[in-house]
Amino acid sequence: MTTRPRSRELFAAARQRIPGGVNSPVRAFRSVGGEPFFVDHAAGARIRDVDGQEYIDYVGTWGPAILGHAPAVVVEAVRAAAGRGLSYGIPNPLEVEMAELICAWVPSVEKVRMVNSGTEATMSCVRLARGFTGRDKIVKFDGCYHGHVDSLLVRAGSGALTHGRPDSAGVPADLAALTITLPFNNAAELEATFAREGGAIAAVMVEPVPANAGLIPPRPGYLAKLREACTAHGALLVFDEVMTGFRLAKGGVQELTGIRPDLTAMGKVMGGGLPVGAFGGRADVMDHLAPEGPVYQAGTLSGNPLAMAAGLAQLRELGRTAAWTRLEELGRQLEDGLRGDVAASGVTFHRAGSMFSLFFAEGPVQDADDAKKSDTAKFAKFFHYCLERGVYFPPSQFETGFISTAHTDEDIVRTVEVVAQALRHAA
Ligand SMILES: *Cc1c(COP(=O)(O)O)cnc(C)c1O
- Residue 118 CB–ligand 1 contact under 6 Å: yes
Q: Is the same domain home to 19 and 149? A: no
Q: Which domain holds residue 249?
A: 72-320
Are 107 and 183 contained in the same domain? Answer: yes
Residue nearest to atom 15 of ligand 1 (CA): 243
Domain end call among 320, 345, 360: 320
Q: Note whether 182 and 281 are same-domain residues.
A: yes
pLDDT at 162: 44
| 249 and 384 together in one domain | no
Ligand 1, atom nearest to 267 Cα: 7
The CATH number assigned to the domain holding 28 equals 3.90.1150.10
pLDDT at 3: 85
**What are the residue numbers of the active site?**
145, 240, 268
Amino acid present at 255: E
Amino acid at residue number 302: S
Q: Is the CB of residue 19 less than 8 Å from the CB of residue 27?
A: no
CATH number of the domain where residue 304 is located: 3.40.640.10
Cα(196) to centroid of ligand 1, in Å?
Answer: 30
Single out the residue in 279, 295, 320 at which a domain terminates: 320
Cα 147 to middle of ligand 1, angstroms = 5
Among residues 266, 278, 264, the alpha carbon closest in space to that of 108 is found at 264
Distance, CA of 86 to CA of 161 (rounded, Å) = 48
**Best probe residue, ligand 1, of 59, 62, 145, 152 (max atoms within 8 Å of C-beta):** 145
- Do 278 and 155 sit in the same domain of this protein? yes
Pair 298, 363 in one domain: no
273 CB near ligand 1 (under 6 Å): no
* Domain count for the chain: 2
- pLDDT at residue 154, as a whole number: 81
Decide which of 320, 339, 368 is a domain's last residue: 320
Residues 288, 412 share a domain: no
Q: What pLDDT score was predicted for residue 402?
A: 98
Both 188 and 213 in one domain: the answer is yes
Same domain, 93 and 63: no
Run of H or E residues at 122: helix 118-133
Same domain? For 250 and 314 the reply is: yes
The Cα 1–Cα 33 span in angstroms is 13
- Cα–ligand 1 centroid distance for 119 (angstroms): 6
Residues 347 and 212 in one domain: no
Q: What pLDDT score does 156 carry?
A: 35
Is the C-beta atom of 124 inside 6 A of ligand 1?
Answer: no
Atom of ligand 1 nearest to the CA of 244: 13
The reported pTM is 0.96
- Quote the ligand 1 centre to 118 CA distance (angstroms): 4
pLDDT at res. 166:
78
Going residue by residue through the chain (427 aa), what tens digit of pLDDT does each one get? 678 999 999 999 999 999 999 999 999 999 999 999 999 999 999 999 999 999 999 999 999 999 999 999 999 999 999 999 999 999 999 999 999 999 999 999 999 999 999 999 999 999 999 999 999 999 999 999 999 999 898 873 333 334 566 788 898 989 999 999 999 999 999 999 999 999 999 999 999 999 999 999 999 999 999 999 999 999 999 999 999 999 999 999 999 999 999 999 999 999 999 999 999 999 999 999 999 999 999 999 999 999 999 999 999 999 999 999 999 999 999 999 999 999 999 999 999 999 999 999 999 999 999 999 999 999 999 999 999 999 999 999 999 999 999 999 999 999 999 999 999 999 8
Residue nearest to atom 6 of ligand 1 (CA): 118
Tell me: do 24 and 118 sit in the same domain. Answer: no
Exposure string for 263-285, b = 16+ CB within 10 A, e = fewer: bbbbbbbbbbbbbbbbbbbbeeb
126 lines ligand 1 (CB under 6 A): no
pLDDT of residue 164: 61
